[in-house]
A and B are shown apart, each in its own frame.
Chain A
Amino acid sequence: MSRTGLTERIREEAARLLADGTVDVVIGFEQGSLPLRATPCFARDAADAGRLVWNAFCGNNLSRYIRRFDKRVGIVVKGCDTRSIVELIKENQVQRDNLVIIGVPCDGMVDEGILQGLCKGREILSVEEGDGVLVVTDAGRTMRIPRDECLHQGCRVCTQRNPVIHDILAGEPVQEQPGDTYRDVAGFAAAPPDARWARITGEMDRCIRCYACRDACPLCYCANCFVDATMPQWVGKSVGGSDTLSFHLMRSLHLAGRCVECGACERACPMGVDIRTLHRKVSSDVAGLFGYKPGMSLSEPAPLSRFEPDDPEDFMTGGSPCAE
């Protein structure tokens, strides 16, 4: 189904759900104020529903918002977003019955940073989506760029482009990509420790502690985040040193077995900090050690709420007790 087709379909479904009172609000996207932006839209009537769109820039994970509503909510979501909804339901943060999930099979979202890089600092004036291409006009010229070359890193290794759960499927299911082999994780690990450390601390030096990563994340919903705790104070609030790294390490561990790799944190970061390297390592270990992939099933228990007697422990000092 074409993009316009999807947009029309989403508008129709949203208008219907609002008109017949099934939901009070439909959370979707509308055209943003900038060419490369779709922006969250809270549609409450048919006129609002008419503003909904679907395009290559619907990157935000809208499940971020559903905890705010205690009534029936319609929500327009991609495959990754449904995975975070699954986790939210499992963690008793939302009621499945309160949600009407309008799932949209996704062929990846476009990383505006990549387009901006191609335009070398010239301001992008407009972007149009054609069949597999983006027609980008900047202050100097118009370029046709293959869509697949502009996708977010996360979208390139995504293995769940189709919704895991949905009530309404807008559009035909898309072909899933091959399984994630975490090649990026292995690639990073191949570098010597000092080089890895230099790379990570270099990234952390750019962090300004604005917490956009946390606040954009659908699963970072703690009412009192550990960074704000004072008794005890887990991390200081300074920037540029181990406090910043500690914040990101603790956050990635707090998301262990829960992070669905939607990329919301990375997209939200104004400084382009590579938070991904941390989360990908944790995800690959959760998958490799415990065989768990977050957000895929409503029944499978969270990996850190359970264990196996023979869980791997080769990371431990002094071997296993059985050896003695």
Chain B
Amino acid sequence: MNAQAPGGMENRSVEWEPRIIAFLCNWCSYAGADLAGVGRLQYPSNVRIIRVPCSGRISPFFILSAFQKGADGVIVSGCHPGDCHYISGNYSARRKFALLKGLLDHIGIEEGRLHFTWISASEGGRFADVMGSVTETVRALGPVRQMVGPGVRT
């Protein structure tokens, strides 16, 4: 079998680490992440960044798909209100996110799984803080069990 792990690995328990998908707008939050990196600020390696042009680009479909494909947490971040590179993308996004967040909470999805925030290009510290706190929130919730995986009945 090709799928087997190297000798002796099979029986070792691997400590679970949350996988967190961060959708970051190119102009502010991604630059904020960059600044955190340049400033050598530590933030958890659990966060996988997906760069998008603007928080307005993010469809609720992206977020639901991330959960379905096994993300334990999702964070979306854009420019602060008033600072959008495209004038108002983040304002439009905010309305969509409010509805999505409300709906997911309503059907009983654990509240700490999905986060929205604004992080500017100059907020490297804030970026690291938010990623840290989101990671801890998700870690406390444990592995995602709702909304994950396809629905084959066996």
Measured CB to CB, the residues of A under 8 A from B are 185, 188-189, 192-200, 226, 232, 234-236, 238-246, 249-250, 252-253, 256, 277-278, 281-282, 285-286, 289-290, 303-305, 307-309, 311-313, 315-318, 320-321
Contact = CB atoms under 8 A, between A and B. Distances in A.
Interface in B92-125: 92, 94-111, 115-118, 120
Contacts of A282: 99, 102-103
Main SS at interface, chain B: helix
Contacts of A311: 91, 94-95, 98
A138 B76 CA distance: 57
B103 A242 contact: no
B151 A234 contact: no
Contacts of A303: 95
Interface residues of B, number: 48
Contacts of A317: 75, 115-117, 130, 133-134
Contacts of A313: 81, 94, 98, 116
Contacts of A250: 60-61, 64
B133 to A, nearest CB: 8
Contacts of B96: 253, 256, 304
A250 B64 CA distance: 8
Contacts of A234: 61, 64-65
A286 B98 CA distance: 9
A242 B130 contact: no
Contacts of B126: 318
B68 interface: yes
Given A289-B102, A316-B116, 16 more contacts: A196-B106, A196-B107, A241-B151, A242-B148, A244-B151, A249-B104, A256-B99, A304-B95, A309-B82, A309-B91, A313-B98, A315-B98, A316-B118, A317-B130, A318-B130, A321-B120
B98 A188 contact: no
21 contacts: A193-B108, A193-B110, A193-B111, A194-B108, A236-B151, A241-B152, A244-B151, A249-B103, A250-B60, A277-B107, A278-B103, A281-B103, A282-B99, A285-B103, A304-B96, A311-B95, A315-B101, A315-B116, A316-B116, A318-B130, A321-B118
Given A238-B151, A315-B116, A281 B61 contact: no
A286 B103 CA distance: 11
B96 to A, nearest CB: 6
B80 interface: yes
B68 A243 contact: yes
